[in-house]
Structure formats: C-alpha cells, structure tokens
Structure 1
Amino acid sequence: MLTNVYFVRHAHSTYTPDELNRPLSEIGKAYAEKITQILKKENIDYFISSPYKRAVQTVGGAAHFFSKEVIIENGFKERKLSESPVENFDIAITKVWAEPTFSWEGGESNIIAQKRGVETTLKILEKYEGNNIAIGTHGNLMVLIMNYFDEKYGFNFWRELDMPDIYKLTFDGTTLKEVNRIWKREET
C-alpha cells in the first residue's frame, strides 16, 4: 500500500528571534495561498506540521479547505543550529553538513536532527499508511530526512531549495519508491 508524504518547506517569514512564533511575511502569505491551490489538487488526508507558526501557516490554508485540523508534531521542527545566533550562518551550516556528528554549542548535529526527523517520519508512515499526508516543515530537517532514505539529497540539494517548496515522497511501507518536486516557486 503506497503512502504519499508531501514535505512542504515553509514560505518566507518575517525574522524575529522568537523561532516558535515567527510568522509568515506578506510575501510568505501570498505563497502560502499558492501552496493551498497546489495541495487542493492532491486529495490530502492528513495535515501535520512543525509547531513553528510559519510552518503551520504554510499548510493551514489547505487544511482549512479540506476541513482538517493541522496536527502538531514536534519531531518536524527545524534543527537547532546553536544555542545563540551564529556569527556566520553559511560557515556554521556548511560545517554541520561536512561533519555529521559535529554540533555547535547547544545545537543539534546532523545525525541527531536526522534521527529525530526520521523517527517521526517512520511513525507517520506506520500510523497513516495508504494516505496522502502534507507535512509543514523546514528545509534543513526535510533534507536530512530525505537524505536518510536516499543519500543524493544532501547539502547541495538543500542549497537549491526554494521557500516554499513541495516534494512528494511515495513510500511502499517504509521503502522510498519515488520523489517528485510538485511545485517550484516562480520569481516575482
């Protein structure tokens, strides 16, 4: 029995230091509406999201269309890079991808973040087998999960993601069968 997981990387957000409650920007809200239009065509059975507001807002419109609740799942929250803001994000993120067991002070290594995301994904695949599931999440965690199932999804793939972005992963049980990008953000 095939299960389709639609990983939805959240749309653009307005920066605040409050990671949990950072909302979508006006541009992000416009793109969230486009995400809704795409997901309307996919017959989504369940909506699951990171607890972060920007992820919930990105899939919330489609959930509303289907009269579904957005189930909050902490396992899909973004990886914590470090306890405090890093001086140079590009250097910091490059290092954790180059050294999967390395973590910045108070942050998660790729191995730890991937383990959390994969365990949550496997739980979802078992619980909702045979359904279409949209998951509002974050780029880094999404790619770490995809990387577990197919190593070709790595740092360079992550760097090419759009915000938002949607990838449909088709599973037979817990075996990844196919990955398709179902929408690409057009430039405005």
Structure 2
Amino acid sequence: MKNIYIVRHCSADGQMPNAQLTSEGVKQAEELVSFFEHIKIERIISSTYDRALQTIEPLAQARNLPIDKEPRLTERIFSTVAIDDWQEKLKISFQNPDISYEGGESSREAQARIIAVMEDIFAGEDDHIVIVSHGNLIINFLLTINANLHYKDWQALSNPDVFLVTQMTDRISYERLWGK
C-alpha cells in the first residue's frame, strides 16, 4: 500500500512562479512540520514554483530529506493573457475539461501531467511520499478518483491543504486531512 500526501502550498503573495510565502504562509509551513511529525515519509517531491518549495523546505530540513523538484507539478497554465472573468472561465473548465484559453492548457492537459507523476510514484519503490503542488492541478488529479468534484470543491481548498491518496492493489482512494 502506498500513502501519498498531496499538499497544496501555503499562503503566498501571488500566482507567478516566483511568488513568495506570506508571513502567514511561513507560519503554516512550520505547522506542516508538526502535522507530519508522526507520519512516515520516505520522499518529498515538489513543484518548482518558489511558494511550493518554501512550503515544504521546513519539513525536508526537519526530516533531513532532499526535495525532488518536479516541473510537471507546477500550476496549470490557465492563460498567458489576463482574463477579467477568470473564475467564470475556470468554472466552465470543470464542465468542459478540453476547453483552453489563449496560451493556456486545458484541464485535461494539466491532469495528464499530474497523472504521469502519480503513475511514476505508484511504480516506484517508496511507499510514503509527500508531494507539493497547486490547487488547480490537485483538484484535477482528485477528479480522476472522484468525478463528482466541481468548481465549488476547488473553491473550498485551503492554503495549505493536505490530501492522503492511498493506492491499494485494487483501488485508489483519497481523504482530506487538513482543510476539513
């Protein structure tokens, strides 16, 4: 059985790849160290975005584990141009996972990235893994387990948030551990 803890990054000051954790986000990252205190971890994998790395650095240091930087875990590229009604457009993408906006990727394309990462993890030797990513990518993965998730479930995500994905011989399940 594999236990994969999917962590959404802590509170940050923006959405750009170089966005930093806020002072509250730094405190949240320290809280994650306590949260994982009695949980076995063999490997840590993170998005390459600064806010994701800053989220997991305190835990990696506390456990003396390296952080494997994984570009496939970066946030979904929604569009390369500003979209005033982006939340409405995001809502539409839950109804039509193949829709994409200028310069962006569809939900299905983003989902393929995180599925590929998860397949690598499922095929790997480590059984207790923490990955750090972003809300839209995480919800797109969870949709592969629970097709009933919607826009409102994305809205309900917190910074940080933690989900435990369990792979057993015949099925994959998840439960929300942090943002309940």
Alignment TM class, shorter chain as reference: over 0.9
Change (3 A) 1:155 1:38: same
Matched AA of 2:148: K
Using structure 1 for the length normalisation, give the TM-score.
0.89
Tell me the distance in 2 between the aligned counterparts of 1:153 and 1:122. 21
Following TM superposition, by how much is the alpha carbon of 1:174 offset from its aligned partner in structure 2, in angstroms? Answer: 7.8
Where does residue 6 of structure 1 map in the other structure?
A: 5
CA-to-partner distance for each residue in 1:44-94, whole Å, 9 max, x for gaps?
110000001101111111111110011011111110000122212211211
Tell me the distance in 2 between the aligned counterparts of 1:174 and 1:20. 37
Could you tell me which runs of 5 or more consecutive residues in structure 1 were left unpaired when the two chains were aligned.
none
SS of residue paired to 2:94: helix
Change (3 A) 1:154 1:171: farther
Could you tell me which runs of 5 or more consecutive residues in structure 2 were left unpaired when the two chains were aligned.
none
Matched AA of 1:143: I
SS of residue paired to 1:56: helix
Tell me the distance in 1 between the aligned counterparts of 2:7 and 2:47. 10
Where does residue 78 of structure 1 map in the other structure?
A: 75
Q: Which of 140, 153, 161 is the aligned partner of 2:149? A: 153
Which 4+ residue blocks in structure 1 deviate beyond 2 angstroms? 152-156
Following TM superposition, by how much is the alpha carbon of 1:173 offset from its aligned partner in structure 2, in angstroms? Answer: 5.0
Bigger drift between 167-176 and 115-124 goes to: 167-176
Following TM superposition, by how much is the alpha carbon of 1:39 offset from its aligned partner in structure 2, in angstroms? Answer: 1.6
Using structure 2 for the length normalisation, give the TM-score.
0.93
Are 1:180 and 2:175 matched, yes or no? yes
Matched AA of 2:93: V
Tell me the distance in 1 between the aligned counterparts of 2:59 and 2:108. 32
Tell me the distance in 1 between the aligned counterparts of 2:106 and 2:132. 21
Where does residue 14 of structure 2 map in the other structure?
A: 15
Tell me the distance in 1 between the aligned counterparts of 2:46 and 2:125. 15
- Once the two structures are aligned, what percentage of the paired residues are identical? 27
Where does residue 132 of structure 1 map in the other structure?
A: 128
Following TM superposition, by how much is the alpha carbon of 1:34 offset from its aligned partner in structure 2, in angstroms? Answer: 0.8
Following TM superposition, by how much is the alpha carbon of 1:30 offset from its aligned partner in structure 2, in angstroms? Answer: 0.8
Alignment of 1:111-130 (within 5 A): 111-129=108-126
Tell me the distance in 2 between the aligned counterparts of 1:103 and 1:128. 36
Following TM superposition, by how much is the alpha carbon of 1:142 offset from its aligned partner in structure 2, in angstroms? Answer: 0.5
